[in-house]
Chain A
């Protein structure tokens, strides 16, 4: 099946799987927002509503054995890589059954079995480790790729530049996925970036780059596949620029006073990646409702699972600081 897909178009069945994955992330994050507003989920939460196509397109293109680092906006990447919603929701509720055993929370989701080396509360924090993991694969001669997600804001941080420089210098199998949602928290691109085309930053290191419409999951999947193949074939790292839109605030509860209301309304209406794929596939109202119901049940069940989970004891915090 994979060979056929590389030559021609993705099967409708495969694209419907993508739609389901994206919808699962959407409904999961909407539920997270709802539970936060209900006062059940404390802490700081960042959702990636609008950016689901990047998470799903990239994660679907990964091979077994590949690893990735996520960001503070990590629910989508984690779910897209196959971590069960129960484990993610339980983590948000701080339960031992969570994917980080209730130690990490929303911004520190892990799933080592699935190559999820961790989300990161510090912007740009995951990039150096991805360069290192890729170096390890190269030194061992393993056909694996290490991939980092990060946003446009992270390209202003030192670790971004150190990591890309080292990766290109060492020609390691790494892919750097820039989720360019045009906002660094509340600061628009034109106030934080002196250039418009972020691939220039990769070009400065002599790194190969690919730009893709991040609202088109099929295009993301293909671009990520090309990037991963390039890296896996030993041709060096790739900078994958996915232009996308954050259709919500920086954090749950963000009043977004910094955003033009009319422009934001228009973006929400025209840039929803789930609407795009639904239209492309010609999914009927009834079919979509069926899919939505199925996904909704999964999400509801994850909340029930999380609430019934085990609370950590204070002394649990003393464990695992050292071996």
Chain B
């Protein structure tokens, strides 16, 4: 085990996976010589050459579109979108091709590609550098979506995404790229897609979160420690969802708070709440509540803390459920 930051764990995953499989390649803006703006791809160009760590022009649709063609000819490309909102120009390719080709060709074409990007706020960046776009991707048939919250999972989920036969979008909480350190297994480490993680066990209230909201949920659980026993569930893979883990975590306490950084309406939390409404009705002792961002563009740094879900808002939601 090595203690790494979250972004170092991602870099580690790349080194291991590119060494393991000569068909894996990385492409994106500034990923080569510069090693990526967050250094996620540092050292890959020197070690594996410019053909397997390709610096591209600023052309997101072209990057992902080229990856489609690369897949058709047997490569396993990993595309970096430099920031969450920079991925919007490639949504066209993702929706119209990446998610559909396998289906459209009756399974004759495989798209083992990965689109990964730093996502989310809390880093005092301007608008369009702080979005949580997971719902767009989850809503796209044929695409899988994973969001790690720890260094070990960042490595393991990326490795799983690279090895997966389907296209996978991996969103990485940039807030925790360097602020989170943790034990990371050395060498090959794969966290299977579709498995949630119980962060802590509890009996009174369940906090459900993913990505950057997991450490927040843990902080809220700490704050509630004197009052109640809190279960924290990290969804990890939004699609395919570990529904059994969600239902089990809800059944344990009967009170569920879903935490989502993205704007509220039709966010991923709404899907989780709908599943609980459909399948966990008799296990619930109180309504499912969401703590989310707001239906506004991500605000600039002076007021971004008011936008982001906070420990206070989560604690308040949990208390409301306990008093219900």
| A residues adjacent to B (C-beta < 8 A) | 67, 100-101, 103-104, 108, 110, 112, 117-118, 120-122, 125, 127-137, 139-140, 146, 158-159, 162-163, 165-166, 169, 319-323
Most interface-central of B51, B66, B70, B97 (chain A CB within 10 A): B66
Q: Is the CB of A165 within 8 A of B108?
A: no
Q: How far is the CB of B124 from chain A (nearest CB, A)?
A: 31
Q: Can you report 22 residue pairs joining A to B where beta carbons are below 8 Å apart?
A: A103-B106, A104-B104, A117-B72, A118-B104, A118-B105, A120-B96, A129-B66, A131-B69, A132-B72, A132-B73, A133-B72, A136-B70, A158-B89, A159-B65, A162-B62, A163-B65, A163-B66, A165-B57, A166-B59, A166-B66, A321-B103, A322-B166
Q: Is the CB of B65 within 8 A of A165?
A: no
Q: Is the CB of A130 within 8 A of B109?
A: no
Taken together as a complex, chains A and B put the C-alpha atoms of A100 and B101 apart, in Å, by 10
Q: How far is the CB of B88 from chain A (nearest CB, A)?
A: 12
Interchain CB contact (< 8 A) of A132 among B70, B101, B110, B142: B70
Instruction: Kindly list the 3 A-B residue pairs having the minimum CB-CB distance in the complex, ordered from nearest.
Output: A128-B65, A132-B69, A136-B73
Q: Is the CB of B62 within 8 A of A131?
A: yes
Q: How far is the CB of B215 from chain A (nearest CB, A)?
A: 30
Range, interface on chain B: 35 or more
Q: Is the CB of B104 within 8 A of A100?
A: yes
Residues in B with CB closer than 8 Å to A118 are 101, 104-105
A321 and B61 in contact (CB under 8 A), knowing A129-B66, A134-B69?
no
Encoded as 1 (CB less than 8 Å from any A CB) or 0, chain B from 61 to 87 comes to: 110111111111111000000000000
For residue B111, which residue of chain A has the nearest CB?
Answer: A323
Taken together as a complex, chains A and B put the C-alpha atoms of A121 and B100 apart, in Å, by 12
Most interface-central of A101, A129, A131, A165 (chain B CB within 10 A): A129
Q: Is the CB of B72 within 8 A of A322?
A: no
Interchain CB contact (< 8 A) of B57 among A101, A127, A166: A166
Q: Is the CB of A108 within 8 A of B166?
A: no
Taken together as a complex, chains A and B put the C-alpha atoms of A130 and B66 apart, in Å, by 7
For residue A137, which residue of chain B has the nearest CB?
Answer: B73
Q: How far is the CB of B216 from chain A (nearest CB, A)?
A: 31
Q: How far is the CB of B241 from chain A (nearest CB, A)?
A: 13
| B residues adjacent to A (C-beta < 8 A) | 51, 56-57, 59, 61-62, 64-75, 89, 92-93, 96-97, 101-110, 141-142, 144, 164-166
Q: Is the CB of B57 within 8 A of A169?
A: yes
Most interface-central of B51, B67, B105 (chain A CB within 10 A): B105
Given contacts A101-B105, A103-B106, A112-B109, 8 further A-B contacts (CB under 8 A): A100-B104, A100-B105, A108-B104, A140-B73, A162-B59, A163-B65, A169-B57, A319-B103
Q: Is the CB of A322 within 8 A of B65?
A: no
User: How many pairs, one residue from A and one from B, have CB atoms within 8 Å of each other in the complex?
Assistant: 127
Q: Is the CB of A136 within 8 A of B74?
A: yes
Q: Is the CB of B70 within 8 A of A133?
A: yes
A322 and B102 in contact (CB under 8 A), knowing A165-B62, A166-B59?
yes
Taken together as a complex, chains A and B put the C-alpha atoms of A131 and B59 apart, in Å, by 13
A130 and B69 in contact (CB under 8 A), knowing A159-B61, A162-B61, A169-B57?
yes
Q: Is the CB of B62 within 8 A of A321?
A: no
For residue A164, which residue of chain B has the nearest CB?
Answer: B62
Q: Is the CB of B103 within 8 A of A67?
A: no
Q: Is the CB of B62 within 8 A of A159?
A: yes
Residues in B with CB closer than 8 Å to A125 are 92, 96-97
Q: Is the CB of A128 within 8 A of B68?
A: yes
Q: Is the CB of A128 within 8 A of B66?
A: yes
Taken together as a complex, chains A and B put the C-alpha atoms of A50 and B291 apart, in Å, by 60
Residues in B with CB closer than 8 Å to A121 are 96
Q: Is the CB of B69 within 8 A of A135?
A: yes
A135 and B66 in contact (CB under 8 A), knowing A128-B61, A129-B72?
yes
A129 and B56 in contact (CB under 8 A), knowing A108-B104, A159-B61, A166-B62?
no
Taken together as a complex, chains A and B put the C-alpha atoms of A131 and B74 apart, in Å, by 14
Residues in A with CB closer than 8 Å to B61 are 128, 158-159, 162
Residues in A with CB closer than 8 Å to B93 are 128, 159
Residues in A with CB closer than 8 Å to B101 are 118
A323 and B110 in contact (CB under 8 A), knowing A128-B69, A132-B69, A165-B62?
yes
Q: Is the CB of B57 within 8 A of A112?
A: no
Q: Is the CB of A321 within 8 A of B102?
A: yes
Taken together as a complex, chains A and B put the C-alpha atoms of A321 and B102 apart, in Å, by 6
Taken together as a complex, chains A and B put the C-alpha atoms of A133 and B57 apart, in Å, by 18
For residue A134, which residue of chain B has the nearest CB?
Answer: B69
Taken together as a complex, chains A and B put the C-alpha atoms of A319 and B142 apart, in Å, by 11
Taken together as a complex, chains A and B put the C-alpha atoms of A101 and B105 apart, in Å, by 7
Q: Is the CB of A320 within 8 A of B92?
A: no
For residue B25, which residue of chain A has the nearest CB?
Answer: A139
Q: How far is the CB of B100 from chain A (nearest CB, A)?
A: 9
Residues in A with CB closer than 8 Å to B110 are 323
Taken together as a complex, chains A and B put the C-alpha atoms of A245 and B119 apart, in Å, by 48
Most interface-central of B67, B97, B103 (chain A CB within 10 A): B103
A322 and B57 in contact (CB under 8 A), knowing A131-B65, A132-B67?
no
Residues in B with CB closer than 8 Å to A129 are 65-66, 68-69, 72, 97
Q: How far is the CB of B310 from chain A (nearest CB, A)?
A: 37
Residues in A with CB closer than 8 Å to B144 are 322
Q: Is the CB of A133 within 8 A of B65?
A: no
Taken together as a complex, chains A and B put the C-alpha atoms of A323 and B101 apart, in Å, by 11
A320 and B65 in contact (CB under 8 A), knowing A125-B97, A129-B72?
no
Taken together as a complex, chains A and B put the C-alpha atoms of A201 and B108 apart, in Å, by 35
